[in-house]
Amino acid sequence: MLADKPRLIDEEGRRLDGRGPADLRPVHIEVDVLANADGSAYVEQGNTKVLAAVYGPKEVHPRHLSLPDRAILRCRYHMAPFSVEQRKSPAPSRREIELSKVIREALEPALFLEYYPRTAIDVFVEVLQADGGTRCASITAASLALADAGIPMRDLVAAVAAGKVDGILVLDLTDVEDKHGEADVPLAMMPGLDRVTLFQMDGVLTPDELKECVKLAIDGCKRIYALQKEALRERFVRIRKEIEAGEVEG
């Protein structure tokens, strides 16, 4: 397929960036990063950088799309033209349209859409820098942005991919590992409820390997979930400090 496949895992089982198979990349999360959005979050996972914003619940345009018994959730996953090595055309690609759909369907089970009939909740995700795992980082960020917007949720949604690289099952693949590896299994879940809301795979795995990848990804999601909650807590601590300092009205 691709020429010059680099060696991705060394004799000691270390990956190109020094991680072991079940290690996550360093994850950095910030909540409430955009002033205009009703909710927003920024996620860095290794070299992947993703920004998510939520607008709503708000009036639906065009109006005929509104539903009488619940809110509609809309999602746009988009990659910045400069987010990849070869400039990407800003027009939505087929990949981006599919990912917009699966990300929406990964977030929807967490929301009480029936609380806001005849409204729309819009989720916008911009990938600023892509190094593998962008759909998962997008879900991690978008679910925090929804929580930041104050939209009632059953749980946060955390996501990460597992996969197979040089014959070894690994967690949180980078772009090279995805491109040259044997399989990629992105998974999103509500860790507090044990519900899987996104599950995809490409490549080839035996059924046992696939089940193992599911377990690996679930474990990764739980670790990301802890970081999400910490980031959300920090945001409220910040607000409280601002109130106490008299910078904003309580």
Instruction: Name the residues that contact another protein, by CB under 8 A.
Output: 1-2, 65, 74-76, 92, 94-95, 97-98, 100-102, 105, 108-109, 183, 185, 189-190, 194-207, 210-211, 214, 218
Whichever of 39 and 109 has its CB closer to another protein, that residue is 109
Minimum distance, C-beta of residue 31 to another protein, in the bound complex (Å): 24
> Smallest Cα–Cα separation from 157: which of 173, 167, 142, 168?
142
Q: In what order do the strands lie in the sheet with 119-129?
A: 27-31, 39-45, 48-59, 119-129, 72-79
Question: Which amino acid, residue 107?
Answer: L
Torsions phi, psi for 167 (to 5 deg): 80, 0
Minimum distance, C-beta of residue 71 to another protein, in the bound complex (Å): 12
Residue 162 near residue 150, CB atoms below 8 Å:
no
User: DSSP letters along 114-167, please?
Assistant: GGSTTEEEEEEEEEEE-SS-HHHHHHHHHHHHHHHTT--BSS--EEEEEEEETT
Residue 45 near residue 172, CB atoms below 8 Å:
yes
Minimum distance, C-beta of residue 3 to another protein, in the bound complex (Å): 9
Whichever of 149 and 157 has its CB closer to another protein, that residue is 157
Whichever of 31 and 147 has its CB closer to another protein, that residue is 147
Whichever of 147 and 185 has its CB closer to another protein, that residue is 185
Q: In the chain, what is the straight-line distance between the N-terminal and C-terminal CA atoms, in Å? A: 60
Residue 23 near residue 220, CB atoms below 8 Å:
no
Minimum distance, C-beta of residue 24 to another protein, in the bound complex (Å): 20
Minimum distance, C-beta of residue 228 to another protein, in the bound complex (Å): 18
Minimum distance, C-beta of residue 6 to another protein, in the bound complex (Å): 15
**Does residue 87 come out as left (phi exceeding 0), alpha (psi in the -120 to 50 range) or beta?**
beta
Whichever of 34 and 196 has its CB closer to another protein, that residue is 196
Whichever of 51 and 120 has its CB closer to another protein, that residue is 120
